[in-house]
Amino acid sequence: MVTDTYYGSAGKRMAESVLEEHRETVNHKAKDSVFIDLFGKPEYLIQLYRVLHPEDTVSQMEDLTIVTLENLLLREKYNDLGFMVGNRLMILVEAQSTWSVNIVVRFLLYIADTYSRYIEHNNINLFNSKRAELPVPELYVVYTGNRKNCPEIISLRDDIFRSAGSDIEVRAKVLRSSIPGDILDQYITFTKILDMQIKAAGSTRKAVEETLRICRDEDILREYLRNEEVADIMYTFIDKEKQMKLMLEELREETIAEGMEIGRAKGRKEGREEGRKEGRAEGREEGRAEGREEGRAEGREEGRAEGRDAKAAEIADKLITELGYTAEDACVFAGISVEDYIAYKNSSRES
């Protein structure tokens, strides 16, 4: 089995609790995924490693070390995988329907945080004249979407900074396919079958059941899919999609109602103020009428905008905290930028 202590220089120490979190309950948390559950099991993780490094015929399951990855901005876990083998630190990020080169920034944050914890745990003195020995990073994006023009490599220097003069560089290889029949190829095929069934039957349990049937018949992750907990993970995913749609519809209706009310209140207030000012100069009667009309119009528009922004941030926050979406996906669904969402969170804490 995978070793049971914190990860170290030989890749033989690991936090068993990371795997136990996946085994403790039948109904997994919404943040869990088939990707994490599958490759969180040592018998499949070693297969994945051998796909990436077929030349290494020596390393065994007990040489694997799971690394907990944590987002530094929002302190939340993503469905991303980190593990060590020997002196290699390997990080894999799954990209599904949403594609963004910003994934490479996530890699940068993961590496910085992981090295920081590694250095602290192993009592490495960076102020010593002796060279610090750190694991060598390897970064991969497992892309399971349908976009055809994905690059083979994403680069912090080329895709984010867009400057050859940058002193910082992070590069990740994009994996879209593999050798037919290996564990990575089976996983990618599984995700595409699931996507097709959801398109055919919608986000329903029928789509899950048909996906499981097809995969078992075609010998795709057959042994893994025999585990009933996998179906529970997939049902959770389907239920989460339904909940998200209902939540978005409900919150959109609330947004319209609250935005209109804010607009009316602001319109009345500004209408009175502008009406009084203009009324003194051009005539009280005409000023009141025009001021009220313009004030209401401007107030309603500004109120709706403010209401939409605040409600969009609330939608994103509920998708993250209640349904387990990543910040990027939640903000895309809610129609707000990650920066504006973080600003909203900060202002909420201050108030």
Identify the pLDDT of residue 279: 58
For 58-109, the pLDDT digits (tens) are: 999 999 999 878 655 554 456 689 999 999 999 999 987 678 899 999 999 9
Angstrom distances, CA of residue 280 to CA of 164, 188, 270, 283, 346: 62, 72, 16, 6, 42
pLDDT of residue 18: 30
DSSP alpha helices (H): ranges in the chain? 16-23, 34-39, 42-52, 103-121, 183-201, 205-217, 222-225, 228-282, 284-321, 327-334, 338-350
- Report the pLDDT value the prediction gives residue 14, as an integer from 0 to 100: 33
Cα torsion angle, 145, 204, 20, 121, sign: positive
13's tokens: 């120490």
* Assessment of whether the complete model's pTM goes beyond 0.85: no
pLDDT per residue over 224-244, tens digit each?
A: 999 988 988 888 877 666 556
Mean per-residue pLDDT, 163-176: 93
32-49 pLDDT per residue, tens: 589 999 999 999 999 999
Q: What pLDDT was estimated at residue 313?
A: 84
pLDDT, average across residues 305-310: 72
User: 171 - beta bridge partners?
Assistant: 155
Contact 137, 91 (CB under 8 A): yes
Beta carbons of 169 and 157 less than 8 angstroms apart:
yes
**pLDDT tens digits for range 186-218:** 999 999 999 999 899 988 889 999 999 999 999
Residue 145 has a pLDDT of: 87
Q: What is the pLDDT of residues 238-276, one digit of tens each?
A: 766 655 666 666 666 776 767 677 767 777 777 777 766
Pairwise CA distance, residues 84 & 7, whole Å: 7
Pairing of strands 136-143, 171-175: parallel
What mean pLDDT is predicted for residues 150-167?
A: 93
What percent of the chain is predicted at pLDDT more than 70?
Answer: 72
Q: How many CB atoms lie within 10 A of CB 233?
A: 23
